[in-house]
């Protein structure tokens, strides 16, 4: 095994061993300024993906939430029945979900949700299901 892999594995195991009982196992850190989402499992960075958050005139809320509910094939009631596949809802109608407008990823383009490439949204959806809603944390910062 390579040294960097072993170091990451040891760090993950230590993080898991000293983690408080109420801490999230899965964390999605979304940066509005860099338009990225960093996914950590047990403190170890697993993914860093481009996202699209709120464009001018709309807001992506900042803060920290646990995941509230999942919807595999959701459609927006507010925005013309727009598709929101692999939706992980975290704050009212706000969700992390797939977009088919992938050319806009990496810059603001949404009505407030956090948009991901469909493959990445499917992965995050599966991870959230695996870890559980209470063990998944969404953190959005400037």
What local confidence, expressed as pLDDT, does residue 2 receive? 58
Sequence-separated (6 or more) residues with CB below 8 Å from residue 127 = 26, 39, 41, 136
Q: Which of 21, 19, 64 minimizes the C-alpha distance to 41?
A: 19
Radius of gyration of the chain (CA): 15
Checking if the pLDDT of 14 tops 70, the result is no
- How much is the average pLDDT of 43-72? 98
Asked if 99 contacts 41 with a C-beta cutoff of 8 angstroms, the reply is: no
Whole-structure pTM value: 0.84
Checking if the pLDDT of 22 tops 70, the result is no
What local confidence, expressed as pLDDT, does residue 76 receive? 82
Q: So which residues are the catalytic ones?
A: 97, 113
Checking if the pLDDT of 100 tops 90, the result is yes
Fold of 3-141: L,D-transpeptidase catalytic domain-like (2.40.440)
- Name which residue leads in pLDDT, 95 or 8: 95
- pLDDT one-digit tens code per residue, 59-72: 999 999 999 999 99
Dist CA 35 CA 51 (whole Å): 5
- Name the band, by pLDDT with cuts 50, 70 and 90, for residue 79: confident
- How much is the average pLDDT of 109-138? 98
């Amino acid at each position: 095994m390579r040294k960097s892999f072993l170091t990451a594995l040891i760090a993950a195991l230590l993080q898991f061993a000293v983690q408080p009982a109420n801490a999230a196992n899965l964390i999605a850190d979304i940066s509005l300024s860099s338009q990225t989402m960093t996914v950590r499992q047990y403190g170890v960075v697993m993914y860093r993906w481009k996202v699209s958050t709120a464009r001018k005139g709309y807001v992506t809320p900042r803060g920290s939430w646990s995941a509230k509910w999942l919807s595999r094939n959701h459609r927006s009631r507010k925005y013309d029945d727009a598709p929101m596949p692999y939706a992980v809802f975290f704050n009212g109608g706000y969700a992390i979900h797939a977009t088919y407008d992938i050319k806009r990823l990496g810059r603001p383009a949404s009505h407030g949700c956090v948009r991901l490439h469909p493959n990445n949204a499917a992965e995050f959806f599966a991870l959230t299901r695996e870890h559980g809603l209470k063990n998944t944390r969404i953190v959005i910062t400037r």
